[in-house]
Amino acid sequence: MLFVVAIQATSFATRIDSVDIIHYNLSLSMQNITSKQITGKASLKVKPNFNNLQVITLDLLKLEIDSIISNNVASSFTQSDSTFSILLDKEYYPQDSILLEIYYHGSPTKDSRWGGFYYSGNYAFNMGVGMGSNPPNFGRCWFPCNDNFTDRATYEFHITTDTGFMAVCSGMQEPATFHPNGSITWHWRLAQTIPTYLANVAVSRYVLINSAYAGIQRNIPVVLAVAAADTSKAKASFFRLNQALLCFEERFGPYLFDRVGYVGVPFNAGAMEHACNISYPLYAVDGTGNYETLMAHELAHSWWGNLVTTRTASDMWLNEGWASYCEALFLECAYGKNAYDEKIGSELFESLRWAHVRDGGFLPVSGVPLAQTYGTHVYTKGGLMVHTLRNMMGDSAFFAACKNYLATLKFRDVNSFNLMDYFTGYSKVNMVDFFNTWIYDAGDHDFQISSFKEQNTPGSFLVEVQQQRRHKTNLVKLAEPNLKIYYTDGSSFTTPISLSFNWEGKASSSINLTSSQSKNIAFVVLNEDNKIVLGKTIQKDWIKTTGVENFSNALLTFTVKNITDSALVYIEHHYAEPNVLNKAMLPAGIRLSRERYWKVNGIWSANNFDATAFFNYDGSTPSTKNAGFLDNELIVGIEDSLVLLHRPNASEPFMVETDLTFQPGPSKTDKVGRFWVNELKRGDYVFGYRDITASTKELTKEKRVLTIFPNPTDNLLTINLPEKHTHGTIKISDNQGRFVKELNFNAGDKKMIIETSKFGSGLFYLTFEDEKGKLSKSFIVK
């Protein structure tokens, strides 16, 4: 589905399901939809999971059960608000088969936030997720079921409607039954197994637009269900559907469900990837291609989510992050690499600027709390992680790994460890390092060029890079970003470089340039193409006229006062503190922002380009979360203590910029205002705060390092404690946030060894805490 919202989780009892449901046959009356009632029978074919089974507990939310028959015997039952338990006539065993016939009625409910069952005018339909519920699967709002991500079954639907109405469901259409009273029973059958949240029914005055797509293995039926008045618009809106199918089949393997289907519904907040019958908002059926990335996102779930499904809500990036990435992939197939790059660039800005704000903190993409299951980290940052993995592996290895993973694990549930396992061996990338650094760790990386200089050998240049972290624990060990060299005539040259970072986050790489490539270099930039996801956004443009230029992607506005020739202005906005080579070069008593800074580059001379610039600060925290949250850590008091600093390059000291006008907002404590710089110069700009507690000694304090090995482990984990630590605790929790072990250490302890064999396999988080603060690591138990 495509929707992002912060949710509040409600309580839901954890249980081990007593049966595996093999098949659902839902026979429901949905006549007179204005009554908002359903009535009917759910026939469930189930297999016991245990010996001596005599009680079955299933899910059903706020619908009333009339009676239950099991294997032709009337059964007694008890029912609560969200579950019911059946007392069987005897004990059953795993080799037995049980047919449950559950008669029920009532008004299906909506979720408190998003999803559930909806009635709107001539429409009645379900959206299979409840974003405010725990678990978020929401099949239970309209039929009795095992409501989780792991219990997969085939489906059959017999939905009775009034004349003039049609029920469209998951699967293939079978012949309908027309009754003497004018009602119609619509019959649909789904042969592939799906979890409950992917089952769908939609009732309205639908007509079907039928076509076929020539797929890799077969002709695939394509069905669009809309009102008669919307057929022309639907054909135009889905003009590139076949192109999306071609794109995904070529890269991920054949489409394996009965048909491709979209059903129009009056929903105003996203779509839902029901198997073969995607619930698609009518606002997106507008006769244009404006929403074709939404179409592609939902279609991509036919591989990422429907075919292979996340095992738990905490790994939802396996569904939504991959489908979000497929929006960019579709644009690449349909419009070329530039369209792909633009999409990745906009998603990067979204992630860096808003993910931690909307989700209430910096999170890993795997192991998110329940309330952030459908948040920006899962969708947007999750998609960026897929992009990074693709570029690190290379297209050939990446798409081969995708096909292997999907083909081997089709119609099964998975976790992030499974993805890591199946992608291992397809490239030189160390998947354990990648997942520990990019997937299981929160925060962002920022690579900053410390220097670029020619060596003694002509044409040999050394680029030195410092890796900075933004609320992140682990360093990237190896990376191969692209270095782009800009020349004074406006031309450029791009070359890959290989970086191997040490424990301080420092790396260097040598490149060899020809004689012509070595001359008239204006500036160099790293990772302009976002080959890997780093903590900066960029915006550049050739300026030819005077006037206001809003570089929104770099959060900078400048006004060109004079220009006699075109000038290239290139702004990087880094979401991290600037690297300072020599801490003694910092102005005394000033704290630099650890949240962000700007790097200004370009091709211009003082004679042909003159511009003023606004550097806006905003440490506000509005409840709407549509502004602010940029300088919250820096600004702790009145704004009079704020300064703007500048340096020409990383080898020069930061100096307080004085050629400016300070313009605080209406209040000196609202944390909103700006510095109006009279002359925009090349170099780095950063906010500072005059703070008597800021000192060189504090800035140069020793970095504390916590190391663990081996990782992954299957038996023992060794923990090397930081030097000069005090006494404290080590706590270990699993990816659901549950503590599994806690132990104490003393000031003289150097290492600790923990037995992990009883933890079970999966991802775990280790937190070291003493009087000086906390350090965290993640590790995997095989």
- DSSP secondary structure letters along 243-286: HHHHHHHHHH----SS-EEEEEE--SS--B--TTSEEEEGGG-S
User: pLDDT: is 1 or 9 the higher one?
Assistant: 1
Give mean pLDDT, residues 731-752: 80
Contact 612, 559 (CB under 8 A): yes
pLDDT category, 7, cuts 50, 70, 90? very low
**Looking at residue 174, what is its pLDDT?**
98
- Residue 702, pLDDT > 80, answer no
Q: Between 704 and 527, whose confidence is greater?
A: 527
The whole-number pLDDT of residue 9 equals 34
For residue 657, pLDDT beyond 80: yes
Three-state SS at 242: helix
Distance CA(181)–CA(188), nearest Å, equals: 22
Q: Is the pLDDT reported for residue 583 higher than 80? A: no
Tens of pLDDT along 220-240? 999 999 999 999 999 999 999
With a cut of 80, say whether residue 2 has pLDDT above it.
no
pLDDT at 332 over 90: yes
Using a pLDDT cut of 90, give the percent of the chain over it.
Answer: 83
pLDDT interval class at 692 (50, 70, 90): low
- Considering only CA atoms, which of 530, 505, 520 is closest in space to residue 392? 530
Is the pLDDT at 736 greater than 70, yes or no?
no
* Residue 11 or 354, more confident: 354
pLDDT confidence of residue 713: 85
Query: Which residues, in sequence order, are bridge partners of residue 140?
Result: none
Confidence of residue 348 (pLDDT cuts 50, 70, 90): very high
Is residue 440 within a helix (H) or strand (E), and if so which, with residue range?
A: none
Mean pLDDT of the chain: 93
Percent above pLDDT 70 for the chain:
96
Q: How confident is the model at residue 760 (pLDDT cuts 50, 70, 90)?
A: confident
In tens, the pLDDT along 421-452 reads: 999 989 889 999 999 999 999 999 999 999 99
Backbone angles phi, psi at 409, to 5 degrees: -105, 15
94, 22 contact by CB (below 8 A): no
Which pair of tokens denotes residue 595?
């949240």
**What three-state secondary structure class fits 770?**
strand
Average confidence (pLDDT) over 504-523:
95
Give the three-class secondary structure for 139. helix
pLDDT band at 737 (very low <50, low <70, confident <90, very high): low
CA distance 14 to 148: 11
Residue 584 confidence (pLDDT) above 80: no
Which two tokens mark 399? 């798409």
pLDDT of residue 648: 95
> pLDDT: is 345 or 696 the higher one?
345
Q: 452 or 581, which is more confident? A: 452
Given this model, what pLDDT does residue 4 score? 41
Which residue did the predictor score with more confidence, 60 or 565? Answer: 60
> Radius of gyration of the chain from Cα atoms?
29
User: Are 497 and 511 in contact, with CB atoms under 8 Å apart?
Assistant: yes
Question: Residues 569, 523: contact at Cβ < 8 Å?
Answer: no
Q: What angle do CA 771, 773, 778 make, to 5 degrees?
A: 130
Question: 456-483: per-residue pLDDT in tens?
Answer: 999 999 999 999 999 999 999 999 999 9
Q: What is the pLDDT of residues 405-423, one digit of tens each?
A: 999 999 999 999 999 999 9
Which is it for strands 762-770 and 728-734: parallel, antiparallel or unpaired? Answer: antiparallel
Name the nearest CA neighbour of 631 among 667, 672, 598, 660. 672
Q: Confidence band (pLDDT; 50, 70, 90) for 781?
A: confident
**Mean pLDDT calculated for residue range 742-748:** 83
What 8-state DSSP symbol labels residue 198? G
Question: Using 50, 70 and 90 to split pLDDT, how confident is the model at 568?
Answer: very high
Q: How many Å is the maximal CA-CA distance in the chain?
A: 95
Residue 683 in this model has a pLDDT that exceeds 90 = yes
Strand partners of residue 617: 673
C-beta of residue 574 within 8 angstroms of C-beta of residue 684: no
Band of residue 590 on the pLDDT scale cut at 50, 70, 90: very high
Q: Please list, in sequence order, all residues whose beta carbon lies within 8 angstroms of the beta carbon of residue 440, skipping any fewer than 6 positions away.
A: 364, 366, 367, 416, 763, 778, 780
The answer to whether the beta carbons of residues 219 and 212 sit under 8 Å apart is yes
